[in-house]
Amino acid sequence: MAVHTHASDSLYHRFFAHPEMVIDLLRGFLDPDLLAELDLENLRRHNTKFTARRGDRRRSDVVWEIPTRHGSSIFILLILEFQSETDEWMALRVDVYTGLLYQQLVSERKLKASYGLPPVLPIVLYNGEPRWNASFSLRELIRLPEKSSLWRYQPEMRYYLIDERRLAKEMLAGMPFVTAILFRMEHPATPEDIVRAGQDVAAWFRNHPDGPPVKRLFVELIMAGLERMKVMPLPVIPDDLQEVMIMLAWHVEQWAKDYENKGRVAGYNDGERIGVQKGEAALLTRLLQRRFGPLPDWVQEQIARADSRTLEEWSVQIFDGQSLEQVFATR
């Protein structure tokens, strides 16, 4: 499975180092006929010792071994790369890594000639902007006349492609898989898209409390998406995913207002200003109640007296302070 990602290769590697994420990906995006042959509940990681072209160890390579329903094992080859363009030689690379995997299994005396070779399922996960146009089969790269007798001696290898950008947003939004939310978060059109995907992933973890330990990775992905969209200034992001989404929901509202205001003549009349300020005060009150519970009178009085700029400052600091006193002392 070769992963070409817009996020850093390290981040994707950490996502798919968890068996639950690999299983989620396969259940969501593998052909049903292929999926029916796999016993995903007994998936286990296989230690590889592949080397790169220069001879140094390829630390990002991961291989998962999955039993099949008919008693043998299949190897899912996971090759993590930082690349978002079509690789015209992908079929060749997959063939080389498959050979290296077989060679390792033989050298470790895990295979006998009488047993034959276990099957390998190479999967390419691609998220580049251009449409994938590389050959899916190694034989397509070999230049021979169609009727040549040499064809019987040529190698064969084919990989399975998952093209993130070609998956319909509506389809991804309706899927129950956390990897579908990951794909949505990788390709947002607006900050609101990031927030909606983040809200969905927070809900997913509420419904799957025993899910993989990747909440912090989703927080990092949110930050990477905001940085790519040049959303400034970036807020201080807490570690808790649910708190992240509460905070970002408020900030996205402010970003939307700022964007809208760029096309207006500066300044509000008194009535408009009061209406906006009341909305900001109500939102801050909800955020504080969500984190600290019922609010004492002194907090409600300070919010009622504060101007719009002060309300914004308090909302930014809400997750830094460990108490109401600390939040309001930051003014």
Q: What is the pLDDT of residues 93-145, one digit of tens each?
A: 999 989 998 988 888 877 777 778 888 999 888 877 788 889 999 999 999 99
Residue finishing a domain among 115, 137, 166: 166
Whether residue 81 has pLDDT greater than 60: no
The terminus-to-terminus CA distance of the chain in angstroms comes to: 51
Same domain (yes/no): 9, 148:
yes
pLDDT in the model for residue 135: 94
Question: In this predicted model, which residue has the larger pLDDT, 241 or 22?
Answer: 22
Among all chains, which residue has been given the structure tokens 């300070």?
302
Q: Which of 38-42, 210-214, 304-308 has the lowest mean pLDDT?
A: 304-308
pLDDT in the model for residue 95: 93
Q: Angle, to 10 degrees, between the axis of helix 178-186 and the axis of helix 215-228?
A: 20
Tokens of 74: 């299949």
**320 in a domain, yes or no?**
yes
pLDDT in the model for residue 215: 87
List C-alpha distances in Å: 208 to 20, 50, 213. 11, 35, 11
Nearest partner of 185 among 240, 212, 223, 130, judged by Cα: 223
Same domain (yes/no): 17, 141:
yes
**75 in a domain, yes or no?**
yes
**40 in a domain, yes or no?**
yes
**38 in a domain, yes or no?**
yes
Tokens of 120: 């390998």
pLDDT in the model for residue 124: 87
Same domain (yes/no): 144, 28:
yes
Question: In this predicted model, which residue has the larger pLDDT, 283 or 215?
Answer: 215
Quick one: what percent of the chain has pLDDT higher than 70? 74
Q: Report the C-alpha gap between 295 and 306 in whole angstroms.
A: 16
Tell me the mean pLDDT in the region 31-49.
88
The amino acid at 189? A
pLDDT in the model for residue 194: 83
Same domain (yes/no): 28, 157:
yes
Residue finishing a domain among 124, 150, 166: 166
Question: In this predicted model, which residue has the larger pLDDT, 270 or 207?
Answer: 207
Total structural domains within the chain: 2
**318 in a domain, yes or no?**
yes
Residue finishing a domain among 122, 141, 166: 166
Query: Tell me, what DSSP letter sits at residue 51?
Result: B
Kindly report, residue by residue over 249-308, the tens digit of the pLDDT.
666 666 655 555 544 434 444 444 555 567 677 777 877 877 778 888 888 888 888 887
Kindly report, residue by residue over 152-169, the tens digit of the pLDDT.
999 999 999 998 888 888
pLDDT in the model for residue 256: 56
**219 in a domain, yes or no?**
no
Q: Report the C-alpha gap between 238 and 245 in whole angstroms.
A: 10
Expressed as residue numbers, the domain containing 43 is 2-166
Q: Report the C-alpha gap between 315 and 18 in whole angstroms.
A: 35
Confidence at 172, pLDDT banded by 50, 70, 90: very high
**242 in a domain, yes or no?**
no
Whether residue 79 has pLDDT greater than 70: no
Per-range mean pLDDT, top range of 22-31, 69-78, 199-208, 212-221 = 22-31
pTM surpassing 0.75? no
Tell me the mean pLDDT in the region 88-95.
92
**221 in a domain, yes or no?**
no
Query: Tell me, what DSSP letter sits at residue 117?
Result: P
Kindly report, residue by residue over 48-78, the tens digit of the pLDDT.
766 544 444 444 467 899 999 888 888 888 7
In contact, 328 and 263? CB cutoff 8 Å: no
Q: Which helix (H) or strand (E) holds 161?
A: strand 160-163
CA 28 to chain centre: 14
Q: Which helix (H) or strand (E) holds 2?
A: strand 2-4
Nearest partner of 10 among 87, 94, 64, 81, judged by Cα: 81
Q: Which residues make Cβ contacts (< 8 Å) with residue 149, sequence separation at least 6? A: none
pLDDT in the model for residue 56: 45
Whether residue 192 has pLDDT greater than 60: yes
Question: In this predicted model, which residue has the larger pLDDT, 131 or 82?
Answer: 131
Between strands 73-81 and 2-4, the pairing is parallel
